[in-house]
A and B are shown apart, each in its own frame.
Chain A
Amino acid sequence: MKITDLQSVLPAFQGIKSRAESQWRELRDGGKPVIMVGAATCGRAAGALEVLRAIKDELKKQRLDCPVVEVGCMGHCYAEPIVTISKPGYPPICYGYVNPVIAERLISEFILGDDPCLEFVLGALEENDLVPSFSDFPRAKFEKKVILKNCGHIDPEQVEHYIANGGYAALVKALQMQPEEIIDEVKSSGLRGRGGAGFPTGQKWEICRNAGGRPKYIICNGDEGDPGAFMDRAILESDPHSVLEGMIIAGYAIGARYGYIYVRAEYPLAVHRARLALRQAKKLNLLGKNILGSDFSFDIKLFQGSGAFVCGEETALIASLEGEPGIPHYRPPYPATNGLYGKPTLINNVKTLSSIRYIIQKGAEWFASVGTERSKGTAVFALAGKVVNTGLVEVPMGTTLRQVIFDVGSGIQGGKRFKAVQIGGPSGGCLPESALDLPIDFDSLTDAGAMMGSGGMIVLDEDDCMVEIARYFLEFTQRESCGKCTFCRLGTKQMLEVLDEITKGKGKIEDLDMLSWLAEDIKAGSFCGLGKTAPNPVLSTMSYFRDEYEAHIKEGRCPALMCRELIAYYIIPEKCERSCDACVGTCTVEAISANKKRIKVIDQEKCVKCGTCLDACPPQYNAVVKLSPPSQVPASK
């Protein structure tokens, strides 16, 4: 697949590019204010579509004509819905926590009037004298946006926006290189697969290029099923063309003819935007026959997965694409030599593929200048749980967990104490405070008993019970295990049974030994990565938080006051206000009554431990508490 006529690629693209640039310029410098609304799934969940409607209605009412653009996720998910207004004479200003009322005010006061409504400002996108910009935020020192650069700043449904911001230039450059040169570039960039295992990407490409058999395939793995993870979804929703561009370059480099994007059907917006992007790319001949007039032809189809976690495992994913049940198959041979329909198949994660354009465009050296010795580039995390700034984060590999959680994420919600961070989802582990200064990379996390995984990072505080967290993740893997092999199907079930007993106060101290040796056997004996990593959440919590396990077993006490069977609700008589009845009415099972002194008392026999009384008790009294073990409740007089 040699390029016979190098000259033909450039002019074909030049036309596309200048049209896109003039369209972008018209939008940015057209003299009108531009309103951008973050409308990825995270934004929509927070009410972005209502905000969008309010903006459009208000503009109509005020007879204003300015472009309203739906953009993807900027990463500040904690502050959604987010609206960015670029008005001539002002820096582009980003507003957070916008609702329809605020949206109307932004139109009438800022667009129509000249008051930039500083009270709603999150930050400006450029440095200026009027409002603090994001780059002044302390977190800016730690963040480095590479693959998330476009996210939230362009309309993912308009290919012109992508092209005007440098999109597809890497493809044009790649088409003028020899495939081997591209592979060398990817190899020397040090890029490792972002799907979890961290396999060197260039090496995989080379194996696939050298494999016999035609046609070859490229698969983009967008199955992303770990609880708490949404990085791949956000990229597909916010910058789908960056994934396409990576796939097309990969296709050219390994000599593939077809590609598939595997997205879970539960991601309808990602599916829609990826489909649209495919149509647009095809129309511009960036995909299809003789791309940009070259000898290279490549087509991509989108496949909607059924949403099983195990289908993210590459051999199960291939089986599922072939219409077979999504069950892992034996490797070797690896997909790179015998994959889809038995043909050489390159399978890469969404983030891996969207990194490619930067490596080609800016060079391997540039990419490798960021990161650690053995993990190059940036890491993308979905920061979730008890952290203040939940959202998408991109930091150089080698950034410490403390920097991500406390500097970028602004620490723990409600001034509570940090307890642990769960990284790598169901395959990962929980790391304690003492691991916070660990520089994040593929190897350091594995050494500490966690895993990079695909980028879920869940922050836990003092109210989270580590036994329950381990149980939760194991329940997930047990449910998502395909059930094929003995260790994963029955071994994780046995472990889950034991954890269930412990969280209910029925555990025995010998059970801890059983959990450890069974976990080791499951890791060594399971067929695929799901089973091999399933015990990690249990092993890591047992090694770092053994005291919590022992408290459950020996004292029937849940130190985090989370395990329902091990706690009781109690009203402290000295704190209870005689004239207040707030809790009595909220109790669904009528377990609360007032005694002779009008002090409220919970009937422990009736109580179902729903916790509504604790929420109902006015903060000035704060009389309801949780006690563990339940025997802490003083006998009623």
Chain B
Amino acid sequence: MKTVSLTIDGKRVKAHEGEKVLWAALDNGIYVPNLCTLRDNSEPSAACRLCFVEVEGKKQPVPACTETIEQGMVVNTKGPGALRLARTALELLLASHPVDCAHCPSSGSCELQKIAAHLGVKLKTRRFRKLLRELLVDSSSPVFIYDPNKCVLCGRCVWVCRERLGIGVLGFAHRGFERVVTTFGDGPIAESKCRDCGECVVACPTGALTFKDKQGTVKSAHKERVETETTQ
């Protein structure tokens, strides 16, 4: 496969032709915040809007997960326009998130925390109204707990369960602010065709899906996987 060379944050890097800027950056040790994309998903969902970068010659910041690299491209992941959009997006997510880190099993491995640190954003945002939804927690599964209040709707679990595993327990429902990840017919997970494999938990970047057995081996696998996926 042909390689293409480009500059990201002043660093000359190489990547495969056709690659998206996001992966080119991550593969070369340059972190760009991202939540909604997985490498093996060929169509970026481009939903979280955290991965904005600036590209020389383009008037507006673009999402790194949808922008295809080009020979000689000059990318700036720290441009003021890109950071402004990423920070607003993150703060919007945090304003509708409980931010109850002290009691959350995912604290420490949570990507929201990581992105907030990267962008220099406080977890308790002041710019927005706190808009929570008070949804019911589903602990029916023998393996994991689903707390939709902590979900950022990145869609990773939906994609993994449906496309990677071909099971399709989880999906999106409702529109606008009411949008949620849920089972078909909104029933408890234990009553769905869930096979308890826990891959969705591994994929979840926040504390929305957590293993019941917190000390178990699976949990540490979770952390490892998250780290390799996002910082590679």
Contacts and interface: CB of A to CB of B under 8 A. Distances in A.
B199 to A, nearest CB: 22
Interface in A513-527: 514, 518, 521, 524-527
Interface in B84-129: 84-85, 88-89, 92-93, 95-96, 127-129
A88 interface: no
Given A329-B43, A525-B52, A480 B128 contact: no
Interface of B: 43-50, 52, 60-61, 66, 81, 84-85, 88-89, 92-93, 95-96, 127-129, 131, 152-153, 172, 174-179
A361 B88 CA distance: 52
Contacts of B43: 329-330
A483 B151 CA distance: 13
A26 to B, nearest CB: 52
- In the complex, the 4 A-B pairs of residues with the closest C-beta atoms, listed nearest first: A483-B179, A490-B92, A481-B176, A521-B88
Given A485-B48, A524-B85, A493 B176 contact: yes
Contacts of A327: 172
Given A325-B172, A525-B49, A527-B49, A489 B177 contact: yes
A310 B174 CA distance: 13
B89 A525 contact: yes
A490 B131 CA distance: 9
A493 B47 CA distance: 16
A431 B138 CA distance: 49
A622 interface: no
Given A481-B176, A483-B175, A489-B179, A494 B47 contact: no
A521 B49 CA distance: 11
A497 B129 contact: yes
A135 to B, nearest CB: 47
B96 A490 contact: yes
Given A484-B172, A518-B88, 12 more contacts: A330-B66, A478-B176, A479-B176, A480-B175, A482-B175, A485-B48, A486-B49, A486-B93, A487-B88, A490-B131, A490-B177, A526-B49
Q: Decide if the interface of chain B is mainly helix, strand, loop or mixed.
A: loop
A486 B151 CA distance: 12
Contact of A478 (B49, B127, B128, B177): B177
A565 B65 CA distance: 46
Nearest to A487: B49
22 contacts: A325-B172, A479-B175, A481-B175, A483-B174, A483-B177, A484-B172, A484-B179, A486-B93, A487-B88, A490-B131, A491-B92, A493-B96, A493-B131, A493-B176, A494-B129, A498-B129, A524-B61, A524-B81, A525-B52, A525-B88, A525-B89, A527-B47
Contacts of B174: 483
A308 interface: yes
A474 to B, nearest CB: 11
B218 to A, nearest CB: 29
A399 B54 CA distance: 40
Interface in A151-187: none
A308 B129 CA distance: 28
Nearest to B176: A481
Given A330-B44, A494-B129, A514-B127, A486 B172 contact: no
B176 A484 contact: no
Contacts of A526: 49
Nearest to A497: B129
Contacts of B52: 525
Q: Decide if the interface of chain A is mainly helix, strand, loop or mixed.
A: helix
Contacts, number: 93
B177 A493 contact: yes
Contacts of B66: 330
A179 B128 CA distance: 55
Interface of A: 308, 310, 325, 327, 329-330, 478-487, 489-491, 493-494, 497-498, 514, 518, 521, 524-527
The interface centre, meaning the residue of A329, A479, A493, A514 with most chain B CB atoms within 10 A of its CB, is: A493
The interface centre, meaning the residue of A481, A490, A527 with most chain B CB atoms within 10 A of its CB, is: A490
Contacts of B178: 483
A444 to B, nearest CB: 22
B128 A494 contact: yes
A497 B96 CA distance: 13
Contact of A486 (B60, B84, B92): B92
A350 B47 CA distance: 30
Contacts of A308: 175
A527 B89 CA distance: 12
Contacts of A497: 129, 131
A489 B153 contact: yes
A484 B45 CA distance: 9
Nearest to B127: A514
Contacts of B93: 486, 490
Contacts of B177: 478, 481, 483, 489-490, 493
A526 B45 CA distance: 12
A493 B46 CA distance: 20
The interface centre, meaning the residue of B47, B152, B175 with most chain A CB atoms within 10 A of its CB, is: B175
A258 B42 CA distance: 28
A483 B49 contact: no
A498 B60 CA distance: 27
A494 B46 contact: no
Contact of A330 (B46, B85, B88): B46
A478 B176 CA distance: 6
B8 to A, nearest CB: 21
A330 B45 contact: yes
B153 A483 contact: yes
The interface centre, meaning the residue of B52, B129, B174 with most chain A CB atoms within 10 A of its CB, is: B129
B127 A489 contact: no
A308 B95 CA distance: 27
A525 B89 CA distance: 8
A285 B128 CA distance: 61
Nearest to A308: B175
A518 B91 CA distance: 11
A521 B176 contact: no
Nearest to B48: A486
A525 B96 contact: no
